[in-house]
């Protein structure tokens, strides 16, 4: 499509599916070399093989510091550097009708993947970037980290943490030439919806209802796609955003702006 990322090397965590996969594809189209980092070995290897040259897969659990360090070392060894770190991997809260039924183990895992994973990806990437002329770090948060609401309390808290962490890291790392920004997707149709409802006895119906609810709160009528988020990631990854750091960009069809009701 273009050469916005020509000569750059990127890591995309959660790159085997949904927003991550679409971002890998867009980064490749813009001339980057990309490492897909994902906990799902089978899917990650299949996607990397399907996308052809300029892409590698490295199985990684973003919540394990040693694995993230290995991921950065692997990328630098394979492609000769690291300029873009897209900390995108994330998991939803298992949806329960009542917060009082939320389980402690779920809370810990959400924090480990959705918040600690972002922190580790930022730190390990920044250690390399600080010694090598800087770079761009992009973190996936959620509109749930901006707006309060019922349900998914630990997910919302982790994603709010990502926004504040992003701002602090942007300030902390600016003098190394490292920019840190976040993207807040909203109502994008990916497999994350079925993951959130997988534990429910009527999971297919719950997934359908959730997708309908996502549609009903959106001012823009069209479905949001993973590529809409990937396009925002290309902007943050490229030199077009060279004076932009510490920001959060909702890509959500207008949900954060307000309700699509004539009130």
Active site amino acids: 155
Q: How far is the CB of 16 from ligand NAD (least distance, A)?
A: 4
For the segment 75-94, give every residue that binds ligand NAD (CB under 6 A). 88-91
Q: Which stretch binds ligand NAD (CB under 6 A): 10-18, 24-32, 197-205, 239-247?
A: 10-18
CA distance 217 to 13: 28
Binders of ligand NAD among 192-221, rule CB under 6 A?
A: 192, 195
Shortest distance (Å) from residue 150 CB to ligand NAD:
16
Q: Are 141 and 184 in contact (CB under 8 A)?
A: yes
DSSP characters for 123-141? Answer: HHHHHHHHHTT-EEEEEE-
| β-bridge partners, 250 | 184
Sign of CA dihedral 40, 41, 46, 49: positive
Site for ligand NAD contains 190 (CB under 6 A):
yes
CB within 8 Å of 125: residues ≥ 6 apart: 11, 72, 82, 85, 135, 137
Q: Which of 8, 11, 57, 63 binds ligand NAD (CB under 6 A)?
A: 63
Q: Under rule CB under 6 A, which residues in 130-169 are in contact with ligand NAD?
A: 140, 142
Residues that bind ligand NAD in the complex, under the rule CB under 6 A: 13-14, 16-20, 38-40, 60-63, 88-91, 113, 140, 142, 185-188, 190-192, 195
């Amino acid at each position: 499509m273009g050469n916005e990322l020509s000569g750059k090397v990127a890591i995309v965590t959660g790159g085997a599916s949904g927003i991550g996969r679409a971002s890998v594809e867009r980064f490749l189209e813009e001339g980057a070399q990309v490492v897909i980092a994902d906990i799902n070995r089978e899917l990650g290897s299949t996607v990397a093989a399907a996308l052809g040259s300029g892409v590698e897969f490295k199985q990684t659990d973003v919540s394990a510091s040693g694995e993230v360090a290995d991921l950065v070392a692997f990328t630098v060894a394979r492609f000769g550097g690291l300029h873009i770190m897209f900390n995108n991997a994330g998991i939803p809260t298992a949806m329960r009708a009542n917060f009082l039924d939320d389980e402690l183990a779920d809370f810990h895992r959400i924090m480990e993947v959705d918040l600690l994973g972002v922190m580790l990806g930022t730190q390990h990437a920044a250690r390399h970037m600080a010694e090598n002329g800087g770079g761009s770090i992009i973190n996936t948060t959620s509109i749930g980290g901006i707006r309060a609401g019922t349900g998914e309390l630990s997910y919302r808290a982790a994603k709010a943490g990502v926004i504040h962490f992003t701002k602090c890291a942007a300030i902390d790392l600016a003098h190394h030439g490292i920019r840190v920004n976040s993207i807040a997707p909203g109502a994008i149709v990916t497999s994350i919806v079925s993951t959130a409802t997988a534990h429910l006895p009527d999971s297919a119906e719950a997934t359908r209802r959730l997708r309908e609810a996502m549609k009903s709160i959106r001012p823009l009528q069209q479905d949001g796609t993973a590529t809409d988020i990937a396009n925002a990631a290309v902007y943050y990854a490229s030199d077009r955003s060279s004076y932009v750091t510490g920001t959060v960009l909702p890509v959500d069809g207008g949900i954060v702006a307000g309700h699509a009701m004539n009130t």
